Structure 1
Amino acid sequence: MEARKENRAIAACGAAPQPDPYGIARSLTRAQQAWLEHPQALWGELLRLQGGMAAVAAQVGARWFGLPMPDVEVPVAEDERFQDPVWSAHPGWDALKEQYLLLSRWLVDLAYGAPGLDEQERRRAGFWTRQYVDALAPTNFLWGNPVALLRALQTGGASLADGLRHFIEEAPEGLPRMVDMSRFRVGGNLATTPGAVVMRNELVELIQYAPSTERVRAIPVVIVAPWINKYYILDLNERKSLVRWLTGQGFTVFVTSWRNPGPEMRDTTFEDYVLKGVGACVEAAREICGVPQVHLTGYCIGGTAVAAYMAWMNREAKPKSRLPVAHWSLFTTLVDFSDPGDIGAFIDEAAVEEIERRMAGRGYLDGAEMATSFRMLRPNSLIWHYWVHNYLLGEEPPAFDVLYWNMDSTRMPEAMHRFYLRELYLHNRLAQSDALVLGGRKIDLGRIAQPLYAVGTEQDHIVPWRQSFRICGLVKGPVRYALSTSGHVLGVVNPPVQPPKRAYWAGEAAGAADAEAWRERQPKVAGTWWEDWAAWLGERCGDEVPARAPGSEAFPALAPAPGTYVLER
């Protein structure tokens, strides 16, 4: 404890930061050195680039003379930078586009393919190379963006004046704004499903939602939201609310709303989130509903805590029927951190030490730092798109509820986040039998026998779906896995609509050698996995009973939803 206080004092007094904590220069230098040590392979790559440049020159020459010629480098469908027709209609802009795509892809391929480096080193070099080439795209500069130049001419320069005003306003924030924050209010046009806070401690509020049917299933659904952002992603508005939809299907629904930590919570641990958070909410829901068991669901890091709780709970020497959770679900959750995807570029020993240095001075990791890291995982869509639209085109940020939630970030307590980075990301101990101790018990995912419904999303940049699928091989109980199209948020916030916007695959995971083998044997279904999940829940959540009003004598309603913790900044 004294050593810990001393470390904090050193950091608070201004311990020097590392010059390259995230290993940017180190990883790029290693990749460069690797190619120099393999000159024959490098020569082959240079010849490949030369061939590509010759093909682009031939294409551009043909188009200058009005001859039809297919693109040498075709932008991917989701790359909106070159979607305007001018990029293909005018040979000059077409040449700029083709040369940029050829060179940028070649550089990224070179980094990811550096010989002699391990997979982690190549991935890190590729990640940082991609950051550079995306930043240097011609579309990010006025002189290289024909759409912005035309807008400036059409508006007599007003678009540039507006863009400069936006830049001056937003520069202190470090990144372009993604959304007009003035258009939304939690409890006003967000998080409006009726309910009440029925339990509150120093860490979490538990919200129970009012029923919308006369009868409900006996076993309630307790959803553990992530604490990296706020819970109302599950209750955005009447059309995009999972909790409102679930109550309409005849379920009693509880959701956690976590406190936004300040310096006073610096010693709050991951164990606290699991036992004082998840465990306390499970016990409150059982008492309020008068049932021995609940269905427990976790989303993102909330799901990681749920998995830890399930392993902790199953260490008890009791029959399954006497344990507090009957079955459980995970939405886009990592429990095996051996391959966390691109976010691994931020997480090695040096980077964790730098994050710890920052947290030690104030007691938490600021939410803006987490948000920046996540935006860097998709720089073109989450950074440079807004750079172009806010500054080069002079447009106002849009009013989009999901982006408002994304920007309404929260802080991470120092002790919890240190544990999360070191024990889970660096050492992957949650996936190892008896490697972690919570509440005095060694935990082992392999002891979990309760049925599980797990969800991944095809384009998830935070929790790669193949990695989330690994839960299927770590637990003892049966697993039904669902894979949705779209990403980490929109693949989960996925209400039924007509015609369907998305699709999913769903099926039992038993017998699948790996994630791809599982997907190959599942039919692709148009629509949302919500309906498949509700059917799975309906088979397990018991008979119907009279609908329950929020609260009980032991847990009276304390405040109307959305509660107070969600409003903390």
Structure 2
Amino acid sequence: MIDVPQTVVPIRAATQPAAPPGPQRTSAADLDRLLHAWQSRFTGGHSPSTASLAFLDWAAHALNAPFETAEFGRTAVEHWQRLARIALGTEALLPLPEGDRRFADPAWSQHPYKLVVQAVLLGEQWCESLVQSPDGMDPGNRRIMGFNTRQFLDMVSPSNWPWFNPEVVAATRATGGRNLIEGFSNLLADKAAARGPAQDDPHFRLGIDVAATPGKVVLRNALMELIQYTPTTPMVGAEPVLIVPAWIMKYYILDLSPGNSMIRWLVGQGRTVFAISWRNPDASMRDTTLDDYRSIGIMAALDAVQAICGPAKVHAAGYCLGGTLLAIAAAAMARDGDAQLASLTLLAAQTDFTEAGELQLFITDDQLDFLGDVMGAQGFLSANQMGGAFQMLRANDLVWSRGIHDYLLGKHDAPNDLMAWNADGTRLPARMHMEYLRGLFLHNDLAEGRFRVGDRPVALADIRLPIFAVGTERDHIAPWRSVFKLHLLNDSALTFVLTSGGHNAGIVSEPGHPRRSFRMRLRAHDGRSPGPDEWRAETAPQDGSWWLAWGDWLAAQSGPPVAPPAMGAALADAPGAYVREH
């Protein structure tokens, strides 16, 4: 075993100015911060003034366009007339929008429910066109109005009301109301689970059923543990692989059950694999910075990997926010002449945030000021607050459809490893999260050359490494067109993969998984960079898992196989202690 220096770098403590003697009076600003923290309990962490300002912007422009606004009265009459023709059978039914599963059950196509569906679709068309109509609105406010209107329409949809939903009516008749009793029991169980530790599913135990790839914790510091996985092949790639996961959730999204664990698969492919397991921060870590995650996380891990494996360069792979941080670290290393990396793999990771999808709706100066007050009171953003924002992006699927399924029909999906991982949330340190949202998401400092590491800016163009970047087709968190923008920021040889699935399932896409496909294309060094839609049209899909293509790519960037390196001195068995923190 090889001893790795245990770099116990302290996270800076929350700094509070020394209080002068005598009684202290709470300032008006402090009271406002407390008010905002209280408001966040009812708004899901969203600033009420952001929505109000968007509505005022829309109303002002609608009032200043009276003739266009009045035209919607005529449009409403036309919709009623069209509904009457549909009811009389003289006009065809409107098709359901793509991906809308609210009315997919055959019972909705029967009378009188089919007329309800048509009224809903016509009403939603009218409302959405109304909020998008006035010219001159701020684009951000227009998006917020459209989003909030969609949320309201989803909420009041008749599919959510048991006496309007034919599926619920039929189930209630068939079971004598037992479905509602079981649904209420499901609701109570979910409420109890939300109050207790998230990772308590007996079917998916940490270190046994999930996060179970054998290995040892070989480094622990104030922010992360580094896990080295036990080799399973007589020879391994000369260059080890370091995985940098996001700290928004636990690392074992990449080490789920043995059948779909990317880490186990990499080890089986003859790779020496290390993975960072981030600490779940509490209020004492409120002043942890984004650069702490780079220095105490990635850079400390790279030093430990090379202490164990010798001078071999490292294949670094980052997922989601971990990929963004890895790109920052790689740019800083290139700037400073640090040549530890052999290649760079970015999985659903954004480096340019100008087209970051619907999450941009929640990233305005006003919203961030409000969120800063909320996190200032707590010292962190809780998993529930963060998860609520992600759920609202797909409220139809993740909120209302699930509520109908679990609480009105009284069903419960069989648990799976991805659901267990998704329930095992983490907190985010207040200062780091605000630096990320303001510097990267709002101001796009990394893509535009303003992001600083140390006292100097870094440039993604400085990275001179082979790059493998993966986007997923249905990603609501890191939209693939946003991930694709790396083509415009770096001219190294870049292999881009667009895989089926979403932000999680598209990455956890093990060989043998049914109905998986991907598109892959190399942009050579200094080669032509097509637009994303052009790239997609010109790149044929391939059946199967992109993991196999990545394995071949890693092999092409690697030297001849060698004997596995010795294991580092073990502090604990994998998955370690930090992954168990709640």
**Common fold, TM-score beyond 0.5?**
yes
Alpha-carbon spacing, 1:46–1:534, altered in 2? closer, same or farther (3 Å) = farther
Aligned partner of 1:82 in structure 2 is: 103
Rounded Cα–Cα distance in structure 1 between residues aligned with 2:562 and 2:190? 53
Rounded Cα–Cα distance in structure 1 between residues aligned with 2:199 and 2:290? 32
Contact kept in structure 1, 2:223 and 2:296, CA below 8 Å: yes
Alpha-carbon spacing, 1:282–1:50, altered in 2? closer, same or farther (3 Å) = farther
State which drifts further: 220-229 or 530-539: 530-539
Deviation string, structure 1 residues 355-414 (Cα, Å, up to 9, x no partner): 111111221111110111111111011111221122211223531221221121100111
Aligned partner of 1:256 in structure 2 is: 276
Aligned partner of residue 216 in structure 1, secondary structure = coil
Rounded Cα–Cα distance in structure 1 between residues aligned with 2:262 and 2:73? 52
Aligned partner of residue 495 in structure 2, secondary structure = strand
Q: Where do 5+ consecutive residues of structure 1 fail to align? A: none
Residue 31 of structure 2 is aligned to residue 31 of structure 1: no
Residue 361 of structure 2 is aligned to residue 358 of structure 1: no
Rounded Cα–Cα distance in structure 2 between residues aligned with 1:468 and 1:61? 49
Rounded Cα–Cα distance in structure 2 between residues aligned with 1:91 and 1:507? 50
Alpha-carbon spacing, 1:185–1:12, altered in 2? closer, same or farther (3 Å) = farther
Aligned partner of 2:243 in structure 1 is: 223
Residue 97 of structure 2 is aligned to residue 61 of structure 1: no
Aligned partner of 1:463 in structure 2 is: 478
Rounded Cα–Cα distance in structure 2 between residues aligned with 1:4 and 1:38? 53
Rounded Cα–Cα distance in structure 1 between residues aligned with 2:445 and 2:141? 22
Residue 386 of structure 2 is aligned to residue 370 of structure 1: yes
Residue 16 of structure 2 is aligned to residue 16 of structure 1: no
Contact kept in structure 2, 1:180 and 1:399, CA below 8 Å: no
Aligned partner of 1:305 in structure 2 is: 325
State which drifts further: 246-255 or 46-55: 46-55
Aligned partner of 2:212 in structure 1 is: 192
Residue 93 of structure 2 is aligned to residue 71 of structure 1: yes
Rounded Cα–Cα distance in structure 1 between residues aligned with 2:382 and 2:413? 23
What one-letter code is carried by the residue in structure 1 that aligns with 2:347? F
Rounded Cα–Cα distance in structure 2 between residues aligned with 1:341 and 1:407? 24
Aligned partner of 2:515 in structure 1 is: 501
What one-letter code is carried by the residue in structure 2 that aligns with 1:497? G
Rounded Cα–Cα distance in structure 2 between residues aligned with 1:528 and 1:5? 57
Deviation string, structure 1 residues 483-537 (Cα, Å, up to 9, x no partner): 1111101110111116x41211111244133211221221111112111111111
Q: Which of 133, 138, 145 is equivalent to 2:165?
A: 145
Rounded Cα–Cα distance in structure 2 between residues aligned with 1:547 and 1:52? 70
Rounded Cα–Cα distance in structure 2 between residues aligned with 1:220 and 1:49? 64
Offset, 1:85:
0.6
Aligned partner of 2:396 in structure 1 is: 380
Q: Which of 346, 359, 363 is equivalent to 1:347?
A: 363
Alpha-carbon spacing, 1:375–1:116, altered in 2? closer, same or farther (3 Å) = same
Rounded Cα–Cα distance in structure 2 between residues aligned with 1:301 and 1:5? 35
Offset, 1:548:
3.4
Rounded Cα–Cα distance in structure 2 between residues aligned with 1:536 and 1:465? 20
Contact kept in structure 2, 1:270 and 1:416, CA below 8 Å: yes
Aligned partner of 2:22 in structure 1 is: none
Offset, 1:452:
0.8
Contact kept in structure 1, 2:209 and 2:257, CA below 8 Å: yes
Q: Which of 518, 540, 561 is equivalent to 2:535?
A: 518
Aligned partner of 2:175 in structure 1 is: 155
Aligned partner of 2:548 in structure 1 is: 531
Residue 339 of structure 2 is aligned to residue 323 of structure 1: yes
Contact kept in structure 2, 1:222 and 1:253, CA below 8 Å: yes
Q: Aligned runs of 1:333-344 on 2, under 5 Å?
A: 333-344=349-360
Aligned partner of residue 377 in structure 2, secondary structure = helix
Aligned partner of 1:474 in structure 2 is: 489
Rounded Cα–Cα distance in structure 1 between residues aligned with 2:517 and 2:258? 21
Q: Aligned runs of 1:87-126 on 2, under 5 Å?
A: 87-88=108-109, 90-126=110-146
Aligned partner of residue 278 in structure 1, secondary structure = helix
Deviation string, structure 1 residues 264-314 (Cα, Å, up to 9, x no partner): 211111000011101111121122111341011111000111011011101
Q: Which of 435, 456, 459 is equivalent to 1:419?
A: 435
Rounded Cα–Cα distance in structure 2 between residues aligned with 1:5 and 1:334? 40
What one-letter code is carried by the residue in structure 1 that aligns with 2:114? D
Rounded Cα–Cα distance in structure 2 between residues aligned with 1:178 and 1:276? 27
Alpha-carbon spacing, 1:162–1:546, altered in 2? closer, same or farther (3 Å) = same
Rounded Cα–Cα distance in structure 1 between residues aligned with 2:564 and 2:289? 36
Rounded Cα–Cα distance in structure 2 between residues aligned with 1:49 and 1:542? 68
Contact kept in structure 2, 1:216 and 1:251, CA below 8 Å: yes
Deviation string, structure 1 residues 202-222 (Cα, Å, up to 9, x no partner): 101111111222111101111
Alpha-carbon spacing, 1:314–1:400, altered in 2? closer, same or farther (3 Å) = same
Contact kept in structure 2, 1:218 and 1:291, CA below 8 Å: no
Q: Where do 5+ consecutive residues of structure 2 fail to align? A: 1-13, 20-24, 40-45
Deviation string, structure 1 residues 157-176 (Cα, Å, up to 9, x no partner): 1111222333345457889x
What one-letter code is carried by the residue in structure 2 that aligns with 1:454? A
Deviation string, structure 1 residues 34-85 (Cα, Å, up to 9, x no partner): 33332343355554454444333322322xxxx9x74213242x32221111
Alpha-carbon spacing, 1:14–1:178, altered in 2? closer, same or farther (3 Å) = closer
Aligned partner of 2:43 in structure 1 is: none
Rounded Cα–Cα distance in structure 2 between residues aligned with 1:542 and 1:278? 23
Alpha-carbon spacing, 1:333–1:110, altered in 2? closer, same or farther (3 Å) = farther
Contact kept in structure 2, 1:28 and 1:128, CA below 8 Å: no
Aligned partner of residue 260 in structure 2, secondary structure = coil
State which drifts further: 512-521 or 372-381: 512-521
What one-letter code is carried by the residue in structure 2 that aligns with 1:460? D
Contact kept in structure 2, 1:113 and 1:122, CA below 8 Å: no
Rounded Cα–Cα distance in structure 2 between residues aligned with 1:227 and 1:334? 15
Contact kept in structure 2, 1:179 and 1:400, CA below 8 Å: no
What one-letter code is carried by the residue in structure 2 that aligns with 1:568? E
Aligned partner of residue 507 in structure 1, secondary structure = strand
Q: Which of 134, 155, 162 is equivalent to 2:154?
A: 134
* Cα root mean square deviation, aligned: 2.7
Alpha-carbon spacing, 1:507–1:110, altered in 2? closer, same or farther (3 Å) = farther
Q: Which of 417, 431, 437 is equivalent to 2:447?
A: 431
State which drifts further: 51-60 or 254-263: 51-60
Rounded Cα–Cα distance in structure 2 between residues aligned with 1:432 and 1:160? 54
Alpha-carbon spacing, 1:3–1:192, altered in 2? closer, same or farther (3 Å) = closer
Residue 506 of structure 2 is aligned to residue 491 of structure 1: yes
Q: Which of 560, 563, 566 is equivalent to 2:576?
A: 563
